[in-house]
Copies of this chain bind each other. A is one copy, B any other.
Amino acid sequence: MNKLYSSLLALTISTTLNAQEPLTAAQSDPKILGWMQGFPPAANRTVSLFDGSFFEFPAIRYSVCHMREFFPTKVVRSADQGNYSFKQKLDAKIGNITFIPLGKDEPVSIETSLAETYADGFIVLHKGKVVYERYFGELDPEGTHAVMSVSKTFTGTLGALLLAEGVLDENKLVKDYVPELANSAFGDATIRQVLDMTTSLDYSEDYADPKADVWVFSAAGNPVPLPADYKGPKNYYEFLQTVHKAGSHGQAFGYKTINTDAMGWIISKVTGKSIPDLLSERIWQPIGAHHDGYYQIDRSGIAFAGGGFNANLRDLAMFGEMIRNNGYFNKKQVLPKAVIDDIRKGGRQEDFAKAGYTNLKNWSYRNMWWVAHNEDGAFSARGVHGQAIYIDPAAEMVLVRLASHHTASNTANDPYSLPAYQAIADYLKKK
């Protein structure tokens, strides 16, 4: 592998492996640090895809709002007519609600939690009205932000929709829909196992290990010129065909992004549409989204279904509110209620428990949603660096946070997130 190419390995899903004492949210504000400002930007303020700076903290705080400026992308068209507009009932007191972060003793405010989690955007809906909305750093109300693994939830929801419509059968095998995957680990997995990530894959997503499979996956999906001696997979689908089984499917939850990309392939095979086109047609246009979203794509034009979606904060909130309302939104039944029922039911908690998420006790994973199984019946879409759509049916609350935390794993921000969301829900329940 030549030098040029190895330098590309730090791309796409990279993380902050060698963080020094990180700057605070205020200190790392991209507008203050001046990334890509000036004509031309100064060399030490230029964010580059090719020197690895692009996804390193603090430059990542700029990049997450500008992904299309680094990658080829495919549009998710918004609604041209019939855009939905939220009613507002703003309540500034929400910023002063306090909660005790996981593992701490002293209460902090929601306002503080936004800084602690490096929030770029935060919106709370109560009974469908905007009660709290904040923007920080590089994000503005008209902008888009990378949603990272919240992308999985869109792919999973489309999969669940196709199940509800009978286009897919959850008991059928992946190879029944995608013969190209017959000899891979996915071949004899059921659609249900892929959707709930209970496949057993010989695949490491440990970003700290430079030899982890995720880097080969990432390289396969990276639309850059290939060195002459490159022998690896040249797009996401070629990579998926190389994955081997590590044991038996259906035994445990194993959070691996490539399940979602396999699901994306299945969906495109049976619908004849790319994930961006299908998402636009079935969800983004019907909900009345205002802003085009987009996906990163590989050299074959295949969207990164497991992590490549970028969208506007309010549009994401519209999606969340549609889900909370059992699929009904913007004067139409966007998704059948059965889809949301199936998501809320959750997956098998015993499968989930084997994955050892200490902050997510009793949770499960269903249709690429994270289900809390708490008293409020909450469920969530989650992406690294702090992306979240959080739906609390008991509190009639939908909340979306977009963020650029210095640490990829949500383990780093959950202590300031999950109890904060519950505190807001408890406050709204009393209103």
A residues sitting closer than 8 Å to B (CB atoms) are: 3-4, 7-8, 36, 39-41, 46, 48-50, 68-75, 77, 80, 142, 223-228, 235, 237-238, 265, 268-269, 274, 290-292, 294, 297, 299-302
Contacts and interface: CB of A to CB of B under 8 A. Distances in A.
A374 B294 CA distance: 45
Contacts of A297: 69
A7 to B, nearest CB: 7
Contacts of A265: 39
Nearest to A275: B39
Given A4-B228, A68-B72, A69-B74, 6 more contacts: A4-B4, A36-B300, A39-B269, A40-B235, A80-B290, A291-B292
B71 A72 contact: yes
A310 to B, nearest CB: 11
Most B C-beta atoms less than 10 A away, residue of A8, A73, A237, A301: A301
B302 A39 contact: yes
A98 B268 CA distance: 45
Contact of A46 (B46, B71, B300): B300
A292 B292 contact: yes
A269 B38 CA distance: 8
A297 B39 CA distance: 13
A217 B300 CA distance: 27
A80 B225 contact: no
Contacts of A74: 68-69
A52 to B, nearest CB: 12
A365 to B, nearest CB: 25
Contacts of A40: 235, 237-238, 300, 302
A3 B68 contact: no
B69 A73 contact: yes
A225 B4 contact: yes
B75 A7 contact: no
A3 B36 contact: no
